[in-house]
Amino acid sequence: MEKNVQSAFQFESQQLKKFAAEIDRQLIRLHSVPRYRGDDLTEQALEDSRERNRENLAIAEKEPYFGRLDFKEAGQEEAAPLYIGKAGVSEGESGEAMIIDWRAPVASLFYSFTGGEDEVWYMAPEGMIEGDIFLKRNLVIRDRNLQRVVDTYEQGKENAGAADEFLLYRLGDRKDNRLRDIVSTIQAEQNDMIRASRDTALIIQGVAGSGKTTVALHRLAFLLYEYREKMLAEQMIIFAPNAMFLDYISNVLPELGVGDIQQTTFSKWALLKLGGRLKEKPADWQQWFEPGLKRTESGSAEPGRVKGSLDYMNAIDEALQLFIRNGMPQKDFEPWNGMVLKQKVIQKWYIEDFREYPAVKIRELISAKIKQWISKELDKIWEKKVQKEMKTKAGQRFRAYMKTWPELDVLAVYRQLLSAESVRERLSDEIVQQTFKNLKKKEAAHEDLAPLMHIHLTLNGLEKGERYHHIVIDEAQDFSPYQIAVLQKLSLKNSFTILGDLSQGIHSNVGINAWEEIMPVFSNGKLACRELERSYRTTMEIIEFANRVLSAAYKPAVLAKPVFRTGEGVTVTQEDDPIAFIKNWIAERKAASASSLAIVCRTARDGEEFFTKLHENGVDVHLVREGQEGYQGGISIIPVYLTKGLEFDAVLIVDADAENYQQTASDAKLLYVGCTRALHSLTLIYSKHASPLITA
Ligand SMILES: Nc1ncnc2c1ncn2[C@@H]1O[C@H](COP(=O)(O)OP(=O)(O)OP(=O)(O)O)[C@@H](O)[C@H]1O
């Protein structure tokens, strides 16, 4: 260790001891105070504050901080060292900030500052604060042990490259089975996105491994800190492609001290909102990912693309409004002969008095109002016997009248709309017939969930407090514009983080091909589009290989730029006996201390076959199947389309043959997804002829 590094290390070790002792003191004190569970509001507020302290101290206990920034505010005499951690902790006696929360305004300097002697600034609630940075130091602490001190900037000294070195050190770490937080190494461009203001729909197009998912989760933690009075975790929601992916990312938010955020898939969410009486018709992914299938790219007549478009949404909307308007009875109501409630009066209630209400509520309100009108008119009849007769008659006629006003049931209404001209002309007969068939069986294809939700929301409106304070859509390239528009109706202030990568758009039968397709959804609010071009997940060798695969049949707007992390070269070989090869590969990778290994096959059926053969050969692996809830890690056999969003220490693609991966954009994207899952090692084997995507 160099002398000055050593003294910095000694100094920081001492500091750590002091901080740790103070944290312990506070924890002991807080644990000695019994929890207050009474009704006194002042006591409750004090208990809440103690609870927040307990939570923060629990986060800070093992790893109190990860960074130090010496910042001299303009007008101050000296630079103050600011220690930055996952949670803010104040000094017990003085109440002064001891550890600064990474989300605090001043901490943004730690991420945005990349060197230079110029004055820096950050925005505090009281306005812009300017000053100078003297030192930026990264500290690695594990279980209260200081392990590393790296100065990535020291005023007047040459530290070029130290920041990258530190990032590489963190990226080179072996990971466990789950995505982790990145608070210590958030990059400047990621920091801007994390701290984007809440009333902005932020679309992030990022290359594979650029940290999109991670950034979105950190943005949630930031928003909850920055707008703690206004945004609630329970009112935030994350949409992800599947339950296994949600399990895979499930560690990050708790690591950041955030709980209670809803996490789901669009289908699960929609089926629940629709009252749980529908089932989703399982998509035939085996057929969709069958090699050689001429998959469509854009503008095709695929049901998913037609029904997922904003054009279809507009047609549904138009037909729905017409249906609602024409739905009410077009004739006068006559409870008994000679007594008439004019249709015009009922229409006036509809159009003027109740115009703020959704259709289902209006029907209820008008029904109640007619009943009221009947009883008022009955009261005017003196003769009890006659009154009774009229009452019976009125009841019968009222029921008959209301029968002519169909109940606004979502499925029934969708069936009606499918026959409306504006909707009908956009769909082929085959699609319409299939949709009727599904609905009859109380099933909905994936692409029908957005229209059904649209109808549901229009008919029933939104309950108070039903709007989301923030919505995250991960892998958004696989969402349809219609789905996103439905979610927008439920959002408060357009607060969205939408992330995806068009180069990984492997569900082109349902998803989008260009971000412009969803921009009209946000036309009446703030919208920001950002790009992430650097890939942090994988090595230079792997990214360069994956870029070649992709470019062989698809031209992305940008290709991923690797961080300067080198590793082993990508291996491509012809193998006659893949099972023997896999056995060796597993042993080799384990010897190289890889913990998560993926054996990637083209389709789910191929996965089943490899799984059976490996088991027969005594190899213990698990098969990842569609619909699986949990993510296990370890050694997985997994169809390539299910690897999206995940990462593994080592990846082996076992069937990189020409027949499996042809020179088409969709196959190039699929193989690109498979290749970019690898953190450290990528191997491809084929049995006869290598795919043109890897030889191009
Ligand atoms: N600033 C960073 N510091 C350290 N690691 C980072 C950083 N940004 C991203 N990573 C790491 O890069 C990997 C990829 O991150 P993530 O899965 O969020 O990317 P992604 O863009 O969503 O990927 P993909 O689209 O390929 O699924 C993760 O291991 C993450 O921890």
Tokens of 73: 């505010």
Tell me the three state secondary structure of residue 153. strand
Q: Name the nearest CA neighbour of 447 among 414, 474, 420, 409.
A: 414
679 Cβ closer than 6 Å to some ligand 1 atom: no
Nearest CA to ligand 1 atom 28: 537
Give 623's strand partners.
Answer: 637
Cα distance between residue 669 and residue 640, in whole Å: 11
pLDDT tens digits along 537-589 = 999 999 999 999 999 999 988 899 998 888 999 999 999 999 999 999 999 99
The DSSP symbol for 68 reads E
Smallest CA-to-CA distance from 115 within 152, 168, 73, 150 is with 152
For ligand 1, say whether the CB of 505 is within 6 Å of any of its atoms. no
Phi, psi of 563 (to 5 degrees): -75, 160
Minimal-distance CA residue to ligand 1 atom 3: 185
Whole-number Å distance, alpha carbon 666 to ligand 1 midpoint, is 23
Percent of the chain surpassing pLDDT 90? 60
pLDDT in tens, 115-136: 777 788 998 888 999 999 999 9
Q: Where are the beta strands (DSSP E) in 275-315?
A: 279-280
CA of 677 to the centre of ligand 1 (A): 11
Check whether 308 is labelled as a binding-site residue. Answer: no
Does the C-beta of 477 come closer than 6 Å to ligand 1? no
The distance in angstroms from the start CA to the end CA of the chain is 47
**Ligand 1 centroid distance, CA of 185 (Å):** 11
67 in Cβ contact with 137 (< 8 Å): yes
CA-proximal residue: ligand 1, atom 9 (nearest): 211
Substitution site in 112, 170, 507, 536 for ligand 1 pocket (most atoms within 8 Å of beta carbon): 536
Cα angle 696-674-267, degrees, rounded to a multiple of 5: 135
Does the annotation list 495 as a binding residue?
no
20 Cα–ligand 1 center, Å: 31
Q: How far apart are CA 282 and CA 171, in angstroms?
A: 38
Determine the residue type at 543: I
Task: Specify burial of residue 112 (Cβ count, 10 A radius: 0-12, 13-18, 19+).
Answer: middle
Where is 602: in which H helix or E strand?
Answer: none
Report the distance separating Cα 37 and Cα 63, nearest Å.
31
Phi, psi (rounded to 5 degrees) for 305: -75, -40
Is 161 annotated as contributing to ligand binding?
no
What is the Cα–Cα distance from 87 to 261, expressed in whole angstroms? 18
Which residues are 151's β-sheet partners?
137
What's the one-letter identity of residue 217? L
**Rounded Cα gap, residues 627 and 609, in angstroms:** 18
Task: Give the number of the atom of ligand 1 that is nearest the alpha carbon of residue 475.
Answer: 25
Closest residue by CA, ligand 1 atom 15: 211
Which regions of the chain are under pLDDT 50?
296-299
Residue 265 known to bind ligand: no
**What residues form DSSP beta bridges with 136?**
69, 153
Residue with tokens 């514009």: 481
DSSP code string of 181-227: --TTT--HHHHHHHT--TTEEEEEEE-TTSSHHHHHHHHHHHHHHHT
- Tell me the two tokens of residue 306: 């037609």
Q: What is the pLDDT of residues 363-392, one digit of tens each?
A: 999 999 999 999 999 998 888 898 898 899
Q: Does the Cβ of 214 fall within 6 Å of ligand 1? A: yes
Please tell me the distance from the alpha carbon of residue 166 to that of residue 417, in angstroms, as a whole number: 59
Token pair, residue 160, equals: 């070029």
pLDDT digits (tens, 9 = 90+) for 149-204: 999 888 877 766 666 778 888 887 656 668 889 999 999 999 999 999 899 899 99
Residues with Cβ < 8 Å from 37, sequence gap 6 or more?
Answer: none
The answer to whether residues 315 and 426 touch, using CB atoms and an 8 Å cutoff, is yes
Residue type, 305: R
**What distance in angstroms lies between residue 182's CA and the mean position of ligand 1's atoms?**
9
C-beta neighbour count of 403 within 10 angstroms: 10
Q: Note whether 494 and 200 are within 8 A (CB).
A: yes
At 668, which amino acid appears?
Answer: A
- Tokens (6 digits) for 520: 């009209």
Among 183, 217, 537, 596, say which to mutate for ligand 1: greatest number of ligand atoms within 8 Å of CB. Answer: 537
Q: Are 89 and 98 in contact (CB under 8 A)?
A: yes
